[in-house]
Amino acid sequence: MSTPARRRLMRDLKVDPPDGVSASPLTDNVMIWNAIIIGPADTPFEDGTFRLSINFDEQYPNKPPQVKFLSTMFHPNVYASGELCLDILQNRWSPTFDVASILTSVQSLLNDPNISSPANVEAANLYKDHTSQYAKRVRETVEKSWADDLMDNEDDDEMEE
């Protein structure tokens, strides 16, 4: 079955993702993608492998997809549920954005949080006033992200097996 959304997603798949980002749809459902963002170097998120799920609906690309972190995050613009507070995923969405551009903006958001509209107030306050403590908390999430991912991978692998 080929809808405009699916065709568009297939095109997105052909586009090379940016550096430090891996993204691929589920084998059985093109509308749900799993992505991994590697934390940019020289930031507290360095070496972290953060998993995201991107859920597209049939209105894509006219409507933005739902992007959500699967790994636990400690970031001023990420809710506890993992949902992101990113303008281009809400009111500033444009149909010309694709998976690669979404992930690039999420990656850049990691090191440049938007303090003016915090989703995680504690993280925002720490980022503002106690940078070292903020970095420490982020490092914890980074280490957690490795463990989570390995577990998830094993699960996936088992399923595939």
Partner 1 sequence: MSEKRELNDVVNGSDQTQKRRKVDEISEDGPLTQEDVVYFQKEAIFRQMNLYRSKVNQVHKQMQTLDEQNKSTNSKLLVLSNWIDQFIEFITSVVPLKELESKSEYKILFTDSPNDIKDNEFIESLNQKKTQLSDLINKIIQNSGAIPDEIKENLNTINSKYHDLKIKNQKITNEYSLLKKNFDNLTIDFQNLVKTSDRLNSITLKRANGTKSEDVSRADTPKAEQLEISIPKDQAESQLNSNGINNTVNSDEVEYLKKQVDEFKATIEAQQKNIDENLELNKSLNSKLVEATTKNQTSIESQSTVDVAKFEDLTNEHKDLNIKYKEIIQKHDSLLERYNALESEKSSDNDLLNSKFEVEKQSLESNFGKLEFDLIRIRTARDELLSKISVLEAEKSGLEVTKQLQALIEAQKEQIETISLEKKLEDKIGGSDINDVETLKKNNTILTNELKEFEKAFKNLQNTNIKKLNSSVDSETVINKLKIEKTKADQKYFAAMRSKDSILQENKTLKAQNGKLNELIQNLKDSEALSTSRFENLDKQLKNLKKVEFFRGHEVDRYVQQISELEKNYKFELNRNKEIQTLLDDFKGKNDELLKLKSEYSIKVSKLESNVKTQDKLINRFKSTGVLEDQNEADSFRSLIYCSLCSKNWKNTAIKVCGHVFCEECAKERIAARMRKCPSCNKQFSTNDLLTIHL
Binding site for partner 1 (CB under 8 A): 4, 7-8, 10-11, 14-24, 27, 36, 38, 41, 47-49, 61-62, 94-96, 143, 146, 149-150, 153-154, 157, 160-161
C-alpha 59/C-alpha 63 separation (Å) is 6
156 phi and psi, to 5 degrees?
-55, -50
Active site residue 85: yes
Identity of the residue, 65 or 76, whose beta carbon is nearer to partner 1 in the bound complex: 65
We find the least distance from the C-beta atom of residue 64 to partner 1, in angstroms, to be 12
Minimum distance, C-beta of residue 74 to partner 1, in the bound complex (Å): 17
| 99 touches 15 (CB < 8 A) | yes
Cα radius of gyration (the chain): 16
Question: Which of 85, 86, 109, 123 is flagged as catalytic?
Answer: 85
Q: How far is CA 4 from CA 11, 35, 59, 120, in A?
A: 11, 22, 8, 36
Q: Measured from the CB of residue 10, what is the shortest distance to partner 1 in angstroms?
A: 8
- Give me the least distance between CB of 83 and partner 1, in Å please: 23
Task: Give the residues across from 22 on adjacent strands.
Answer: 36
- Please report, as a single letter, which amino acid is at residue 122: E
Please say which residue, 124 or 138, places its beta carbon nearer to partner 1.
138
Pick 16 or 129: Cβ nearer partner 1: 16
Give 5 or 84: the residue with its C-beta nearer to partner 1. 5
| Cα–Cα distance measured from residue 77 to residue 13, given in angstroms and rounded to the nearest whole number | 27
Just list the catalytic residues: 85
